[in-house]
Each structure stands twice: as structure tokens, then as C-alpha cells.
Structure 1
Amino acid sequence: MTDSELDTLFAAARTDRTEPSAAFLDRVMDDAMAACPAPAPERSARRSRPAPRGVLAGLVAALGGWPAMGGLATAGLFGLWIGYAAPGPLTPTPLNFWAAAMTWPT
């Protein structure tokens, strides 16, 4: 198809404002309602969690449980390692480079 044929086709499509019939829309809605899952039955009463026993159990529960405590322990040990094995002082070469990069040309 050429560009002029496409322009004619698109112009015709823009001017054609046919609306779907009510029977078609009813069939679409019936199909949509058939595809929806059935609602879950209501629960009569929810069982509450037992209260944590002890200070440590309360702290663990407040922080998100044992998986969160594992992440906190890992992050803490990693922080201690970074503090212990800190990188050495910078050599003069990078310092000279940064000093030269920070000066403004005059």
C-alpha cells in the first residue's frame, strides 16, 4: 500500500463511529463474569497469633522474624570487617590527580 492509500484508509476509520450492539456487550460481560473466580467464603473468626514469650522473642518479632535477624547479623559482621580491614591511606598519586582536577584554569 502506498502512503496515500493508507491515509485514505485511516481517514475512513476515523470517521466511522460504529458502536457495538447491546447484545454483543452483554455477551462480553457474561464471558468476563464466567472467567472471574468465585468469591472466597468469609471466615467467621480469625485466630490471633500467640504473644511472643520473652524479651528476645519480642525483639525478633518486632524486627521481622529470624530472616530479618539473619540479615542484620550479616550486615553487622560485614560492617565490623570493613572497620577492621579498612583500606590504607591514599598514596600521593591519587591526591595529586584530585588536586589538579580541582584547580580552576585562570
Structure 2
Amino acid sequence: MMTHDTNTSADGDLAAFFDAGRQAGESPTGDFMMRLEADALRLQPVPQARTRGSVWGDLLRGLGGWPTVAGLTAAACAGVWIGVSPPDLMLTMLQDQSVIQNVDPLSGYDYAMLGG
């Protein structure tokens, strides 16, 4: 396995610049470092106190907001309405036993079970 030495790479044009940078060895002055630290501390976010929300507000945010709650409410109302006053077609299908006997609940699993 070959290792790549960065000091003897084929980039001879840049090697002279890297060597010159290593030899310079200048470090930043103390004044520059103090200004840099002051700027960094000034730009950091200030922690804010969090207020505890209500359980209902947390639930509302967890569900996705008012549009999601409105959709869930509409679906629940439709389910109650269909449950209390089912359509006539549903009642006739439930009374006809031949329709219920012809329904295979595992019809989608035929090919999955053959695969082994």
C-alpha cells in the first residue's frame, strides 16, 4: 500500500508558498486576539428563558398545528356520521352473506408468501 507524502507532491508550484508560510511563523498580536474574542462573544446568541406551555398547546404543536387538527376533526365527524347513519348500500352489502364470504383479507400476501 502506498502512502502519499504531502511534502513531496507533484504540486511543485505551491510547495514553495507552503514552505514560506511555515517559515514565517508569525503569531497574532495580543490586541488582535482580544478584539477577536470580544467580537466572538458579542455575536454569540444570548440564552432566553423558556416559559412552560400548556399541555394542549404542546399537543397542538405536536400534531402539526390548526390545519391538521381541522382535518382530524372533519374525519372524526365523518366517521361518527357514517357510523350513526350508514348508507343504504353498506347495509345491503353487510346483509348479503355471499359478498362477505367472497372477500379474501389476505389476497395481497399471495406473492409474498410464495417467495419463501
Class of the TM-score when normalised by the shorter of the 2 chains: 0.3 to 0.5
**TM-score, normalised on structure 1?**
0.38
Q: Which has the higher contact order (CA 8 A, sep 6+)?
A: 1
